Amino acid sequence: MSAGHDVRFLDVFKGQPKAVWITAFAAVIAFMGIGLVDPILLSIAEALRAGPEQVTLLFSSYLGVQVVAMLITGAFSARFGPKRTVVTGLVLIVIATVLCALAGSIGELVALRAVWGLGNAFFIATALSVIVGAASGGQGAAIMLYEAALGIGLSTGPLLGALLGNISWRGPFAGTAVLMAIALILSAGFLPKDGPRSERAKVRLLDPIRALGHGGLLRTALGSAFYTAAFFIVLAWSPFVLEFGAIAVGLVFFGWGLCVAFAGVFLAPRLAARFGEVGGTIIAVLSFAVLLGAMAVGSKPVVVVAVILSGLASGLLNTLFTGSAMSISDAPRPVASAGYNFLRWLGGAVAATVVGHIATLFGSNHAPFAVGAVLCVIAAGLLSLELRTKGDAHQVPAEAALVGEEF
């Protein structure tokens, strides 16, 4: 890491307006929600008398609704404005997290996680544009701030879930509700008012689907869908394989989240500069396949180490896949991002739904990891086809890595 790059990363935190810090704070809390339930999956299963197949629905309902909602958030923001969209998302998240803390059955919890996913879609799809519009230092500084929020949220979510979940499985939901309520109050009070509708670009509901008609974007999105499926196999299934307590699982995924943040902010731009976006993505997704293979055959200590190291591959892939998707077609970035995210998170929703059934089908708790490795190899094959047919003309400078758009 060059000194120049280090100084630049620290400089982006200086002199930012309140709107940037408020949105970044809310983004940290929103990203916490992805891994928040990980350490308490076993506690929830025990308290609500639910099997693994039911508990992993907490991921699939959250992601499934988020997938569909991603298609409408662009049109919603264009019609009502980014501030109203952000506030709407935060209101939904606060309501959902409060009710999650009060839920009396696994069915209620799954349904409320779906409402949480809807709120997350409205918030996350809009937060980056708010930061880009308000940040000093241009788009590069805004994206680096957003990447930092992503990394802090992913790493602290499991840790918060572990600490509060050690008291009660309801604790993480209640804690998140309090933090998101603070973010909601700050956002409603201090974010800039939305301008006239005439000043906002028009986005039609089906534009993201039409954007997937571009072959390169479609192959990239499908490759990302297979990778994201493997990503959520690790996230949703590892606690059932490790069978650790909440604190131990939280610490494992805290280390994982730190690796995600470090690789996404610092390593991905260098890998892309060396091998190109597509070439770097192929290297990273095959590395992920190797780690999943180790999880499929290894003992618990091996699984722990592989899960933590998989954060490096995930950090690289979160950045590189999105960079490819944003640069590979001539569709406007918000439209290309919506179409790409629709397929990508669809992969995660499907994986979270069927992962328990895969273990049952093969009679092994480690079988889902082997399936994830195969999915990563398929993703690499799709990217290799893109590399052969189009070449890899797209490079990602350090300031152009768009991690924020994929969460």
Is the pLDDT reported for residue 7 higher than 50? Answer: no
What is the average pLDDT across 238-251? 88
Share of the chain above pLDDT 70, in %: 84
List Cα–Cα distances, 140 to 192, 258, 287, 402, 404, in angstroms: 21, 21, 28, 9, 12
What pLDDT, in 10s, does the model give residues 260-269? 888 887 888 8
Least confident of 61-65, 197-201, 363-367: 197-201
Least confident of 10-14, 119-123, 282-286, 334-338: 10-14
Of residues 355 and 391, more confidently modeled: 355
According to the model, what pLDDT value does residue 394 have? 46
What pLDDT, in 10s, does the model give residues 139-196? 556 666 776 777 788 778 888 888 888 889 999 899 889 988 988 998 888 887 877 7
Highest mean pLDDT among 51-55, 95-99, 215-219, 346-350: 95-99
Band (pLDDT 50/70/90 cuts) for residue 133 is low
User: Topology of domain 12-406, per CATH?
Assistant: Growth Hormone; Chain: A; (1.20.1250)
Share of the chain above pLDDT 90, in %: 28
Least confident of 37-46, 329-338, 394-403: 394-403
Domain residue spans of the chain = 12-406
Band (pLDDT 50/70/90 cuts) for residue 236 is confident
Average pLDDT along the chain: 82
According to the model, what pLDDT value does residue 403 have? 38
What is the average pLDDT across 20-25? 83
Of residues 341 and 146, more confidently modeled: 341
According to the model, what pLDDT value does residue 183 have? 86
What is the average pLDDT across 56-62? 84
What is the average pLDDT across 58-62? 85
According to the model, what pLDDT value does residue 334 have? 65
